[in-house]
């Protein structure tokens, strides 16, 4: 079974600054996917970024980037130039690769990020 | 626009009563999922379905039941056996094979009267 750990229940950052959210995971799988989801106060779950474990290059999406360290089983999210709209709960999630059928997501407990003016 | 519709947005249950949460998608996705979200707990998987007329238990299936009679629909019934049903429930779906991310509905908040 996989586990995902987010050790920071809450974080705060000022507008325009950079913040990094931590995520570690435990798995015996070699082929898998990692995701960051954002849940703003509206409670809609929004995919922020994803990383394939077989890719060494870190994924980036505009102001969002990850630091994927496979050996250390670490998957942190960096938000650059933070904006007020980034205020949300952020969830790290793990999904193992399967060759047939569908896989399931295992979520961390989340980190609440507050961006202040 | 394609998406996942969950209804109702808020639902109240009396003690001993079964209630059904609706989840409909028009994305032509094959797999659908139900999650429960509690404060400080993240999302936990209740049930999932890969094809019509088939579904599998997730990590916390006790006290819940599902059906998948149509590709577009995956309703969740919270039975009276679920002793602590107050939570936020999220439905999700995904297409094709396992490397695709899940898309989520807007959720249903269930409370006990």
Phi-psi region of A101 (alpha: psi -120 to 50; beta: other; left: phi over 0): left
Task: State mean pLDDT over B86-102.
Answer: 84
Chain A positions in Cβ-Cβ contact with residue B102 (cut-off 8 Å):
105
Residue (of B79, B110, B98, B113) closest to B6 by Cα position: B110
Look at A103 and B98 and tell me if their CB atoms are within 8 Å. Answer: yes
CA distances (Å), A17 to each of A78, A114, A117, in order? Answer: 11, 12, 10
User: Is residue A109 a contact partner of residue B40, using CB atoms and an 8 Å limit?
Assistant: yes
Chain A positions in Cβ-Cβ contact with residue B45 (cut-off 8 Å):
104-105
How many angstroms separate the CA of residue A29 from the nearest CA in chain B? Answer: 14
C-alpha gyration radius of chain A = 14
Task: Give the chain B residue whose CA is nearest to the CA of A2.
Answer: B59
Encode pLDDT of B52-78 as tens digits: 999 999 999 999 999 999 999 999 999
Task: State mean pLDDT over A105-114.
Answer: 96
Percent of chain B clearing pLDDT 70 (strictly above): 96
Chain A positions in Cβ-Cβ contact with residue B99 (cut-off 8 Å):
33, 52, 97
Q: What is the pLDDT of residue B39?
A: 86
Q: What is the pLDDT of residue B1?
A: 63
Encode pLDDT of A27-85 as tens digits: 999 999 999 999 999 999 999 999 999 998 999 999 999 999 999 999 999 999 999 99
């Amino acid at each position: 079974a996989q586990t995902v750990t987010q050790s920071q229940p809450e974080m705060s950052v000022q507008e325009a600054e950079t913040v990094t959210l931590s995520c570690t995971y435990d798995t015996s799988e070699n082929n898998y996917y990692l995701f960051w989801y954002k849940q703003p106060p509206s409670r809609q779950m929004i995919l922020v970024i994803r990383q394939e474990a077989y890719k060494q290059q870190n994924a980036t999406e505009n102001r969002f980037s990850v630091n994927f360290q496979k050996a250390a089983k670490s998957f942190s999210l960096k938000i650059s130039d933070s904006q007020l709209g980034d205020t949300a709960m952020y969830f790290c999630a793990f999904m193992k690769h399967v060759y047939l059928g569908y896989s399931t997501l295992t979520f961390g407990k989340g980190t609440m990020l507050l961006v202040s003016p | 626009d394609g998406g996942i519709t969950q209804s109702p947005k808020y639902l109240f249950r009396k003690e001993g009563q079964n209630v059904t949460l609706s989840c409909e998608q028009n994305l032509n996705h094959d797999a659908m999922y139900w999650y429960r979200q509690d404060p400080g707990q993240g999302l936990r998987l209740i049930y999932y379905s890969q094809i019509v007329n088939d579904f599998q238990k997730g990590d916390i299936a006790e006290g819940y039941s599902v059906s998948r009679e149509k590709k577009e629909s995956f309703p969740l019934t919270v039975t009276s056996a679920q002793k602590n049903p107050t939570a936020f429930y999220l439905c999700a779906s995904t297409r094709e094979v396992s490397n695709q991310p899940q898309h989520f509905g807007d959720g249903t908040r269930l409370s006990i009267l």
